[in-house]
Structure 1
Amino acid sequence: MSKFQDLINSDQPVLIDFFATWCGPCQTLAPIIKDVKKNFGDDLKVLKVDIDKNQSLASKLQIKGVPTMILYQNGKQVWRQSGVVPASQLEAIIRDKTK
């Protein structure tokens, strides 16, 4: 868990995508997140967390469904949402929440 804290304790926004390999909406979201990361470049860190392989982290963060995205900045959760979000909306949310 300390490694997770190190990852989110950053001035750089960190978007975490909690997913499962068997989840259809997660597969829909994957290329959207890839495009968003490409558009933000080094201004955004993206981490993908497989909830089946990281059950303790998913449980600690109360991930109840997938996909769930959580945006962190400076170690604080600034946004969280479950489900698929269009790329343009996701980019606007990230810009708004990390000013």
Structure 2
Amino acid sequence: MEDIIVKSTVESFEEDVLKSNVPAAVLFYTEGCPVCDSFIPIFERTAQKYSKHMKFVKIYRQQNRQLGESLKVKSSPTVLFYKDGKEVCTRLNGYISNPELLQP
């Protein structure tokens, strides 16, 4: 799983996400968060299934507060979608189900 999902930080976000040559799904999460704990397996399964078409990135929110604040991430979990260096699609946060994550 480690090689399918990139663990990014404020220092590597630009390279990992903004300069990605494929669309990216970016998960901001918090350890010990029950909602995050229930969503992370969904994110991981989705990454296994679609990693050939999309990059999957996890960012630990507490260690990257500045990045989260600059992107206006206010809760965990939050999933952002990027393509060509720009945020696209609707953000997902809170209790996120598998069907929500897979919606176009």
In which range does the TM-score fall when normalised by the shorter chain? 0.7 to 0.9
Q: Percent identity?
A: 25
Instruction: Give the drift of 1:38.
Output: 1.1
| Residues 35 and 87 in structure 1, CA contact (< 8 A), matched pair in contact too | no
Q: Is 2:26 aligned against 1:16? A: yes
Q: Quick one: structure 1 residues 23 and 31, their matched pair in 2 at CA, closer, same or farther if it must change by over 3 Å?
A: same
- Correspondence 1:77 to 2:67: no
Which residue number corresponds to residue 89 of structure 1?
100
Unpaired runs of 5+ residues, structure 1, are: none
Alpha-carbon distance in structure 2 between the residues aligned to 1:41 and 1:71: 14
Which of the pair is proportionally richer in helix? 1
The count of corresponding residues between Structure 1 and Structure 2 is 93
Matched, 1:4 2:22: no
> RMSD of aligned C-alpha atoms?
1.6
TM-score, length of structure 1 as denominator length: 0.83
- Unaligned residue ranges in structure 2 (runs of 5+): 1-9
Aligned equivalents of 2:51, 2:67: Cα separation in 1? 26
- 1:2 Cα offset (Å): 6.4
